[in-house]
Structure 1
Amino acid sequence: MTEIATSIVDTMREPVLVLEPDLTVLHANRSFYSCFHTSEAETVGRQLRELGNGQWNIPALRQLLEEMLDENDIVENYRVEHEFETIGKRVMLLNARRLQQSPDRKRIFLAISDVTERERLENELIASNEFSEKLIDSIREGLLVLTPDLVVESANKTFYDLFRVSPEETEGRTIYDIGNGQWDIPALRRALEDVLPHDHRFDDFEVTHEFPAIGRRIMLLNGRALDHLPRILLAIRDETEKRRHESEQKVMVGELQHRVKNILANVHSIATATLRRSNSLAEFEAAFLDRLKSLARTQDLLLRESSGCVDLHELVSWELAAHGWEEDGRLTIDGPEVTLSRREAQAFAMLVHELATNAVKHGAFARSGGRLDITWNIARANGRDNLSFEWREDGVAIDKQPSSSGFGSGLIRRSVGHMLGGTSSLDFSPRGAICKVEFALDA
């Protein structure tokens, strides 16, 4: 090689080898020695496959150079991956030229680009991009990436699923144009055009909007203008279901408070009425606990139904069963299907309890020949359904009319009159008690 050619090769930053036709090294530049941790004495005059204790005995490289001598004059960016003893795994791009010195002498100029680090960084970048894409798609909030002029660059899967739009309808359009203008929302414009340019961020900006495809939605928006990239991130959290659940929970808590208040009022009323009609503490205890059990049975029925309503037939049957009576030859229960509200059920259960308690002590349930017929019907009047209920005992000889204080008629009147807004009557025929109740059912 001439002195000028040698100087040019030595100044190149890439490792370079000049090879004889038999692949003996004629010259190597300083970059080659530095990159592959070898010296001139260990390199020049040796076969390529012998360099570095055989480290350069690379079949792919040898095949490339031998084929080049036979067929081609140029090889560009031929990728070779090899594990070297001294420097580890390297990825190289080889560029070779055949130099025609004479018809029978063809040297090879071999430039070696070490792209190990570059490929590592490229792979890390690809992996990082893939990680970012997968991470963004896994976010449960809708996410938009916007350019400074508010054109949508990309969106995550949550956004497409939530707002029922496609990438074709979204990417490359301004945010106000996507979804046939669904996002042209004044509140959103204020956030993006007024707040974001000055503060570079906004948090939990609430927007309520009616979308044609998905209806009314309540959203919390969080925006960020990136510091080192001209992009805007807009995160959209759909709060609609959460707000609905919170509203339902608030109603449920209010309803629970109302129920507890009503139950405590009932307990107070029962205690007061029982105390007034009791002649001793033992008598009060027995009657009071009995009535509390009736109230508890009603609450059990109410809790079984999510609507808080109770079937009249079931309520009557439960109360009578608690006193040991079931529908048989001595007991009939007959009437159309009637659903009582929570308020009606609590009041009506107390009425049935008082009647059943008296029947056990003095009436039909206290005599072997006694019987009980319970009937009701519904009549429509003044735009409302009115319930007419009758309790009729038979087969009981009554010599004199029981006192009202002993029968609990005060509780019956209070249950019907005060709580149900209806009327009641309690009569005693020679054959047993007859109670009639009428009131308008809740709509």
Structure 2
Amino acid sequence: MKDNIQPLPFEVAAVLGAPDRLAALDAAMPVFLGPDADFDDITALAAALFEAPIALVTVLGRTDQWFLARQGTPEIRAPSEDSFCARLITLSSGEPLAVRNALEDPRFSSLPSVVGEPHLRFYAGAPVTIDGRAVGTVCIFDIKPRTEIAPDLLPRLKRLAALAASLIKLKDEARRRTLAAEVLSRDEKRHALALDAANVASWLWDIQTGMVSGNETFYRMLGIKPAKPMRARKFFTSVHSADRKMTIGRLRNALATGKEYDGLFRAAKSGRWLLGRGRVHEWDADGRPTIFLGINVDVTEGQLASERTRLLLRELNHRVKNTLAMLQSLARQTLRQTSDPVEFMDAFAGRLQSLSEAHGLLSDHEWGVIHLKMLLQKQIMPYAFDYESQVEIHKDEVELGPDQAVGLGLVLHELATNARKYGALSVRSGKVVITARVVNEDEQRVLNMTWHEVGGPPVDPNGRRGFGSVLIERSLDKILGSSVHVEYLPKGVTAVVRMPL
């Protein structure tokens, strides 16, 4: 502690440290940022009123007195121990206080600023009150004592203190509004960024002016350039004509009932599928809607996926019916060829497996197209000792549709099982040579494929043709223009397949 500084009396320290007073000061001025030019006129008026060389607008903390404005001193703070104003807010009960000669007043005579430089003598101050709590003062000093004070001076000083309090409140309110605006701006920016990142369009329809405005995503989804507010009529025409009537009807219902708008529509220009949500946000005094807020979410991918699923289900339903009919035919024909249950099960199970393999490939490719190479591998590999060395393939790039894959799969299955039982695949030295070429015939792409077996046991050309041979030749009956011709040559079976693609 400095020499000759008079400690604060207990009652003064108690007032300075009162929690409710400090709370009022902290609420009005959380941080002291230094002298504020907005308060300079108050110190100038106070100095002129009293014709005093020193005038201050102060705020009092627990241990320090800060100067919001000052005249006649370069200082911006002083310790509370050496403060006239700290004693003022304890002694005055909210009223101004005048000290004519501090050297003769025992309450102030021992203060360092009285007994030493600048040898203050005259003091007048009025408390600055915020929410009923004294948080500072407007005060003046003179180094000369005074015996008389004009009766109107202290009331005027009180009004200046009230003016300082009002200015503090106004500046605090402005500060709070600025902070709130900054928070709102940050929130709006964050929300805008979040909507943009999530690819969500937001829009506002001012019903009174008929204008619709939105974020950048809104205009992008609708395919509207330039991105600027537009009339509601243009907004409605941006909806695909097939969906426009329904969309407008749902919006009108939301306006009439106050319920949420919920609709799915296509954008006329971009063709994107958009899910719309919204509701009335404001009404006028008569209960008529004035502001409508909405969002759009691009659900094109989901909509296309749903459409693909519906198409796949229809295709699957069609394929199941065809497959069941084919299974019935296979079962009847297989039974006609054998009365042995074991032999029937072996033959029928193999053909059923062939259908399953083809269906599995098509399912993996969403019932679109599959490559001939994959079908050859699936149908022949189980019947070869060594697929890589026993199956030689020369082919063009060939894609097969569902009917082509199922029919050709059965042909390959019968050829492969026959080769395994009696032909080239029954011995390790045997080989199957497959050639598949695509040619153009009258602007129609046609697959010409040959199956030729070599290195197997000799073939008896006069052997009985079983159901397998019949099945090979009739498996492509559903594909117009297709045919399968099988030759049982002594050196090996040869099959020629012709199938339009």
Regarding TM over 0.5, the answer is yes
Which of 275, 283, 288 in structure 1 is aligned with 2:343? Answer: 283
**1:218-367 correspondence to structure 2 within 5 Å:** 218=274, 220=276, 222-224=278-280, 226-227=282-283, 231-238=290-297, 241=300, 242-305=302-365, 308-326=368-386, 331-367=391-427
Which residue of structure 2 aligns with residue 144 of structure 1?
204
Deviations 1:290-335 (A, max 9, x none): 2233333333433454573232234224332211244667653223
Summarize the Cα distance change of 1:269–1:167 in structure 2 as closer, same or farther, 3 Å threshold: same
Q: State the alpha-carbon separation in 2 of the partners of residues 307 and 72 from structure 1.
A: 97
Summarize the Cα distance change of 1:259–1:280 in structure 2 as closer, same or farther, 3 Å threshold: same
3-state SS of paired residue (2:347): helix
3-state SS of paired residue (2:445): strand
Which residue of structure 2 aligns with residue 159 of structure 1?
218
3-state SS of paired residue (2:283): coil
Deviations 1:170-219 (A, max 9, x none): 3xx6445789x9699986996699767754567235655423xx456555
Look up the equivalent residue of 1:159 and give its one-letter code: F
**1:92-107 correspondence to structure 2 within 5 Å:** 102=149, 107=154
3-state SS of paired residue (2:261): strand
Which of 469, 485, 489 in structure 2 is aligned with 1:425? Answer: 485
Q: State the alpha-carbon separation in 1 of the partners of residues 426 and 297 from structure 2.
A: 65
Which of 195, 204, 208 in structure 1 is aligned with 2:262? Answer: 204
Deviations 1:132-181 (A, max 9, x none): 746864563523152522245x64565356457799833xx6445789x9
Which residue of structure 1 aligns with residue 465 of structure 2?
404
Check the 8 A contact 1:308/1:341 in 2, yes or no. Answer: yes
3-state SS of paired residue (2:228): helix
Check the 8 A contact 1:298/1:315 in 2, yes or no. Answer: yes
Q: State the alpha-carbon separation in 2 of the partners of residues 278 and 367 from structure 1.
A: 26
Give % identity. Answer: 23
**Number of residue pairs aligned between Structure 1 and Structure 2:** 382
Q: State the alpha-carbon separation in 2 of the partners of residues 355 and 361 from structure 1.
A: 10
Check the 8 A contact 2:262/2:277 in 1, yes or no. Answer: yes
Which residue of structure 1 aligns with residue 498 of structure 2?
438
3-state SS of paired residue (2:477): helix
Summarize the Cα distance change of 1:397–1:303 in structure 2 as closer, same or farther, 3 Å threshold: same
> TM-score under structure 2 normalisation?
0.58
Summarize the Cα distance change of 1:217–1:326 in structure 2 as closer, same or farther, 3 Å threshold: same
Check the 8 A contact 2:203/2:218 in 1, yes or no. Answer: yes
Summarize the Cα distance change of 1:53–1:167 in structure 2 as closer, same or farther, 3 Å threshold: farther
Which residue of structure 1 aligns with residue 69 of structure 2?
none
Look up the equivalent residue of 1:424 and give its one-letter code: V
When the two chains are superposed, the root-mean-square deviation of aligned CA atoms in Å is 5.2
Q: State the alpha-carbon separation in 1 of the partners of residues 474 and 453 from structure 2.
A: 22
Deviations 1:222-275 (A, max 9, x none): 441623677412314246514333322222222333343344444333333322
| Superposed displacement of residue 364, structure 1 | 2.2
Look up the equivalent residue of 2:282 and give its one-letter code: L
Which of 376, 389, 407 in structure 1 is aligned with 2:449? Answer: 389
3-state SS of paired residue (1:283): helix
Check the 8 A contact 2:390/2:430 in 1, yes or no. Answer: yes
Which residue of structure 1 aligns with residue 15 of structure 2?
52
**1:120-199 correspondence to structure 2 within 5 Å:** 126=181, 129=184, 133=188, 137=192, 138=194, 140-144=200-204, 146=206, 148-151=208-211, 155-156=214-215, 158-159=217-218, 162-163=221-222, 169-170=228-229, 174-176=231-233, 198-199=256-257
Q: State the alpha-carbon separation in 1 of the partners of residues 405 and 240 from structure 2.
A: 52
Q: State the alpha-carbon separation in 2 of the partners of residues 196 and 343 from structure 1.
A: 50
Q: State the alpha-carbon separation in 2 of the partners of residues 167 and 336 from structure 1.
A: 50
Q: State the alpha-carbon separation in 1 of the partners of residues 474 and 451 from structure 2.
A: 17
Q: State the alpha-carbon separation in 2 of the partners of residues 325 and 115 from structure 1.
A: 96
Unaligned runs of 5+ in 2: 1-8, 51-56, 63-88, 90-128, 141-145
Check the 8 A contact 1:191/1:205 in 2, yes or no. Answer: no
Q: State the alpha-carbon separation in 2 of the partners of residues 128 and 191 from structure 1.
A: 38
Q: State the alpha-carbon separation in 2 of the partners of residues 340 and 183 from structure 1.
A: 39
| Superposed displacement of residue 344, structure 1 | 0.8
Unaligned runs of 5+ in 1: 1-45
Q: State the alpha-carbon separation in 2 of the partners of residues 417 and 253 from structure 1.
A: 25
3-state SS of paired residue (2:210): coil
